[in-house]
Every structure is written in C-alpha cells, then in structure tokens.
A and B are shown apart, each in its own frame.
Chain A
C-alpha cells in the first residue's frame, strides 16, 4: 500500500528566510505527487503537482518542489517566506488508476510557523 511520510510535525522559520518541507513516499512505481496547503478552518489549496518529466516543478505563491526518485522524496521549497505562508502543508500521492484506487493518500502534515 502506498504511504506518505512528512517527518516534521512543526517547523518555525523567520520571515524572509528560506523553507524546505520534507516528504517521502512509499510506492512501487512512479506516483503522482501533490502538495496542498490548508489554512485554519479551510479546505485544501493545490500548490503544485508532479506527474512526469522535469523533476523540478513550479507552483503557486513562489513554491517549488523537486522529485527525487532515488530518495523517494518530493520536498517543497520556497526561497523567502512571508507571514501569510503560515499554514498546514500536506504532501499527497495518488496511484495510477486503471479503474480503481483513485483517492489521494496524504501525509500527516507539517505546521509552518513564521516568526517576525
């Protein structure tokens, strides 16, 4: 069964500093990978996705992520964080669908705190 691990429950970063959120997945083939962000009491907003091709993908709000097959990782990065980036971040994997098993599997999330 596929699984997603986000090793950091909380991360605190100073405003203007760089950010990297870690995500590791377990799956036999190349998965479809996603990063979502969730503000308190809200639904999830898609930041970026990886399906194939270039392993460095760009997303919204200045975020990017790099797929590394050898490390089964899909880490999210941002060169300079803003106070508005404080939120919960979820990495998710989706199995290739041949007609079944189409739901996303999420990690437990990383809570990002921005220090002034």
Chain B
C-alpha cells in the first residue's frame, strides 16, 4: 500500500494562468475524490469519481475547474484562468468499493499559491 500520491506538492503561478494537478490513488481503490482546503478551514468536497465516471460535482466547482479520470486510475484537476481566490490546498482521497462506509484515504495535497 503506497498511499495516495499527489503531484506537485506546491505550485506557484501568476493570476490568469492554467494549472493542472495529478492524483494517483491507492491501486485497488475505485473511488477518487477531490477536496479544497483554505487556511483555517476544513476540507470542502469538490467532486468524485467511481472508476472513470464523474458522479457528483459540488457547487464550488466552477466552470473554470475540470477533473478527469480517463482510465479509472489516476486523476487530474485543472484550473483555468486562475484567480486569487483559488489559492488553497487541493486534497485527493480514494476509497474502495461502492458503499459509503468505506473510509477515504487522503494524500498530502497540492498547495496552490496565486501571485
């Protein structure tokens, strides 16, 4: 069990640029989740996948955000035309199975800073 891996760990970019983050879940996990965490707050749910299907998107996921999981393994989260308010920690989590009682395992996150 190598855990959930996220890359990069840190990303600094100028406002208006596009950024892409990658998440590699635990290998046998079919569910993958993205969360955003701002300073002093708990994580907020953005979206989740079961295999390659994106099953739910939060209202927080504006049209500048897009997530993919093309082969049901790793996932990418892209933010287009970044804004100051996008500065946050972006966390990925994965879980096994189709029942809600399976715990989610988190990666160490990608910290995004917008200049």
Stretch of B12-20, B41-49, B67-75, B79-87 at the chain-chain interface: B41-49
Count of chain B residues with Cβ under 8 Å from any Cβ of A? 30
Minimal Cβ-Cβ distance residue in A for B42: A106
User: Is there a chain A Cβ closer than 8 Å to B105's Cβ?
Assistant: yes
Minimal Cβ-Cβ distance residue in A for B105: A46
- Tell me the bound Cα distance from A106 to B40 in angstroms: 12
A109's partner among B6, B41, B99, B103 (CB-CB below 8 A) is: B41
User: Is there a chain B Cβ closer than 8 Å to A34's Cβ?
Assistant: yes
Contact between chains at B42 and A96 (CB < 8 Å): no
- Tell me the bound Cα distance from A90 to B40 in angstroms: 11
For chain A, the bracket of interface size reads 20 to 34
Contact between chains at A95 and B48 (CB < 8 Å): no
Contact between chains at B42 and A90 (CB < 8 Å): yes
Given contacts A46-B103, A46-B105, A97-B99, contact A102 B48 (CB under 8 A): yes
- Tell me the bound Cα distance from A48 to B55 in angstroms: 26
User: Is there a chain A Cβ closer than 8 Å to B56's Cβ?
Assistant: yes
A100's partner among B4, B40, B44, B56 (CB-CB below 8 A) is: B56
Contact between chains at A100 and B55 (CB < 8 Å): yes
Minimal Cβ-Cβ distance residue in A for B46: A103
Chain B residues within 8 Å of A32, by CB: 100-101
Chain B residues within 8 Å of A104, by CB: 33, 35, 43, 45, 104
User: Is there a chain B Cβ closer than 8 Å to A78's Cβ?
Assistant: no
Q: Chain B's nearest CB lies how many Å from the CB of A63?
A: 15
Q: Chain B's nearest CB lies how many Å from the CB of A106?
A: 3
Chain B residues within 8 Å of A108, by CB: 40-42
Q: B-contacting residues of A (Cβ < 8 Å)?
A: 4, 32, 34, 36, 41-46, 49, 51, 90, 92, 94-97, 99-109
Q: List 7 A-B contacts (CB under 8 A).
A: A42-B108, A43-B106, A95-B100, A99-B55, A100-B55, A101-B56, A107-B42
